[in-house]
Structure 1
Amino acid sequence: MRITDRRAVFFDVDDTLYDHLIPFRKAVERTAGPLAALGGFPFEAAYHRLRYHSDMLSLELGGAGAMESGAATGYMRMRRFQLTLAEFGIPLTEAQAEAMQAAYIGCQYEITMFEGARELLAKLAGEGWIVGLITNGAPNHQQCKIDAMRLDELVPPERRFISGALGWDKPDPRLFRHVNEATGTTPADSVYVGDSWRNDVIGALEAGWRVIWFNHRRAARESGHEPTHEAGNYAELARLLLGRHRADG
């Protein structure tokens, strides 16, 4: 069953519109190389652990709304690299972890969207879909990524929802309910596309939305929740979201 009868679709940003692993890999290669032989280093597995530690430390700090700046935020961002790299046999001093975080931030705005992503968003908007973004993070930080991808050309400001500006982080279903209220949509008419099982799949499903799990990394499921569909690339997403329209000519 294609999701072609739903007229509102919202996308996650990090690792859904662009490859979030690339800045992480660059940061590790630039700063941890002297510490260990990185041949065969499991970047993808380490990236998943970085996101886990980011989520957990962010919750301890008070959520994305508390993460724009300040000493606590700086410590959290440094600490996540220490915790992550330690799991893979690379202990980092605070200074080394801070250098890795600085390299990571420096790379995060060098963004190239996934192949087919820009074309799909434009096609959806052209066919009358309400197209928007829902992303966790600090407002200025996430907005810089949105600007780097030139998403203002595709998604108007009133359809961009950044958790740090709203007071709820995914997977809190209140964030998705707020999006429905702000855009005049309903859960039954809304589709969410995201890569994170915990934040995107669980959060949107528990808000009553349909969900396409953008599982381009072929990750394992983490609970008994059942996404409406699963896709591994934008060609598959296009078939799910636009299939019937194409078939109708």
Structure 2
Amino acid sequence: MKPRGLLLLSAGGFQGLALIQGLQSLHGLRLIVADSYADNVTRFLADQYVVAPPLSDQAVFEQFLLNLCQEQDIELLLAATDHELRTVDRLRTRLQAMGVSVLVSTGRALELGQDKLAFYRWLAEQGHRVLPFFERPDDPAAPELLIGKARGAWGGRAMLQHRRGQEMASLPEGYVWQPMLTDFDEYSVDFSVRPDGALSPLAFRRRLRTVGGYAVVCEPGAPSEVSVAATAAARGLADLGACGPLNLQLLHWSGGVAVSDFNPRGGTSMALSISAGLNPMEFLLQASPDPAPCAKPVVLQRTTQLFRQQLVPRLDLSGVRGVVLDLDDTLLDQKAWMLDKLRLTWRGLAAHLPPQAQFLSDCWALIEEGHRSDLFDRLCSRWGWGQATRDALIEAYRGAVPRKACLYPEVDGVLDQLRRSGYRLALLTDNPAASQRQKLQVSRLDSQLDAVILTADLGCRKPDGTAFAAAAEALALSPAELVMVGDNLYRDIHGALLAGYRHAFHLTRAGAFFNFDGALWRELHPEQEAWTAVNCLRDLHAHLPKLLCTAGTRDEGNIF
């Protein structure tokens, strides 16, 4: 499947990280990040990272954006920060004419998101819950203690406190003032609105601990009065042109509830809502206009924002021209494929088998214990079935063809980007040829590859050097111009390095069949140093230099 090109504008920092965390689990996307900094937080999380000119040079930035969308076949555009929203909105018509779906607020909603005084006025006019607000702290109706918010700021930036009688000359212009509450809870609400105005389920979280305005500990859920107030405001904003990932903030105290802020882009801590089970990005990019899924019941006590470290080794892979990839548990979720085949097997023989839940449970217990090759022998032994049932199970399983192949979310985007970057791609896979052809037929992976090598057709299995030599020959490249990517340290990594491949990447998938100990492998094979452990195919982009660079963009490629 050809992935959709999704551009994340100004998404190099933590605000972009929140969006990427919501997109990583979604299928069929090629993620392109454009940011003015060459090195940033999301540098190695996207399929392509492009250095953008500064937004301050408006004409150059706009031309850069239009060129990038055209050259990279962008279909979806998101903005990570407030700074570029008006620029994108101004270019909306031209972008849409290019086939770009602009997932950014427009019209009145965008104005309200960038001016707190206008937002509070709108809330009051529409009957939404809002605290009293004042343009000046010396307003006769203002209470003694006030908090001032810069009209164009976001988060906890540029907030002031004021007590009646305080020297007015020290107070800056451009603020809106509200009563200062001393005992309240603050709620953050993550949601999204599609271009057609469809509103996603709202993800509520009570902010328990913040650092510099950045929520790091939250409690999922909210009281009913908070939910009602937030839903009404979100629906009203959607009617005014709100679009894309969005964030509302509300205050709740013993006397009531009030909407306190609207961010016309994704919340920096949206990942906490995603971890609690609601992903606004999934709803936003949902292809069909199906009704929004029901919100999951809140049973969690806390969501915590943890920083993780990513080590990027300095590899010299100059001269590499091709990538050879394993199939099962590298590109395709083997367990999901097997379970789908077992479901179809049961349907075909249901009259002769136990109830489906029992059948699948017994099969899965054996599979997880490592009995894939003799699954039906052991199952028949357990249930006392004879040879005829065994043969029927094997025949039904072999003939079962699932409607879809469960590729890992990033696969389509990574393969597309590698080819755009100039690499030749080959698949090198073991297991019976008929089974692997089924997977290729359903997944249509072969359309994204330059060569497919089934070791069963060669009469060998990895790590036999014959298999790796065949992949090199099919790509018309020498082994030294190739890297291998696979989940099996012995068959994929060991075999590729023995065959003379330049480097190998060991990919570990959560829940996959193999769980190798890399440290022990290095202890047993100290002579094989040319391999690197990765957890996602997108990690390859950090190491493989770009062979081709699109004209008119500054793609950093491998920064080493």
Q: TM-score, normalised by structure 1?
A: 0.69
Query: Which residue of 317, 325, 328 corresponds with 1:11?
Result: 325
**In the alignment, does 2:497 pair up with 1:205?**
yes
Do the aligned partners of residues 190 and 44 (structure 1) sit closer, same or farther apart at CA in structure 2, a change above 3 Å counting?
A: farther
CA radius of gyration, larger in: 2
Do the aligned partners of 2:315 and 2:543 also contact (CA within 8 Å) in 1?
yes
**In the alignment, does 2:458 pair up with 1:166?**
yes
Between the aligned residues of both structures, percent identity stands at 22
Aligned pair count?
218
Query: Which residue of 519, 532, 537 corresponds with 1:234?
Result: 537
Corresponding residue number in structure 2 for 1:49? 370
**What do residues 49-93 of structure 1 show as CA deviations (whole Å, max 9, x unaligned)?**
245x3xxxxxxxxxxxxxxxxxxxxxxxxxx21356589x77764
Corresponding residue number in structure 1 for 2:339? 25
1:97-112 map, 5 Å: 97-101=390-394, 102-103=396-397, 105-107=399-401, 110-112=404-406
The residue identity in structure 2 corresponding to 1:214 is L
1:73-84 map, 5 Å: 80-82=374-376
SS in 1 for 2:490: helix
Distance in 1, matches of 2:483 and 2:380, equals 38
Do the aligned partners of 2:463 and 2:495 also contact (CA within 8 Å) in 1?
yes
Do the aligned partners of residues 228 and 85 (structure 1) sit closer, same or farther apart at CA in structure 2, a change above 3 Å counting?
A: farther
Corresponding residue number in structure 2 for 1:214? 507
Corresponding residue number in structure 2 for 1:128? 422
Do the aligned partners of 1:82 and 1:94 also contact (CA within 8 Å) in 2?
no
**What do residues 134-162 of structure 1 show as CA deviations (whole Å, max 9, x unaligned)?**
11244444233222222243113xx2111
- Structure having the higher strand fraction is 2
- Structure having the higher helix fraction is 1
**In the alignment, does 2:557 pair up with 1:246?**
yes
Distance in 1, matches of 2:556 and 2:379, equals 46
Is there any run of 5+ residues in structure 1 with no aligned partner, and where? Answer: 54-79
Distance in 2, matches of 1:106 and 1:169, equals 24
Do the aligned partners of 1:36 and 1:90 also contact (CA within 8 Å) in 2?
no
Do the aligned partners of residues 140 and 38 (structure 1) sit closer, same or farther apart at CA in structure 2, a change above 3 Å counting?
A: closer
Higher relative contact order (CA 8 A, sep 6+): 1
What do you get for the CA RMSD once the two structures are aligned? 3.6
Is there any run of 5+ residues in structure 2 with no aligned partner, and where? Answer: 1-313, 347-352, 547-554
Do the aligned partners of 1:24 and 1:104 also contact (CA within 8 Å) in 2?
no
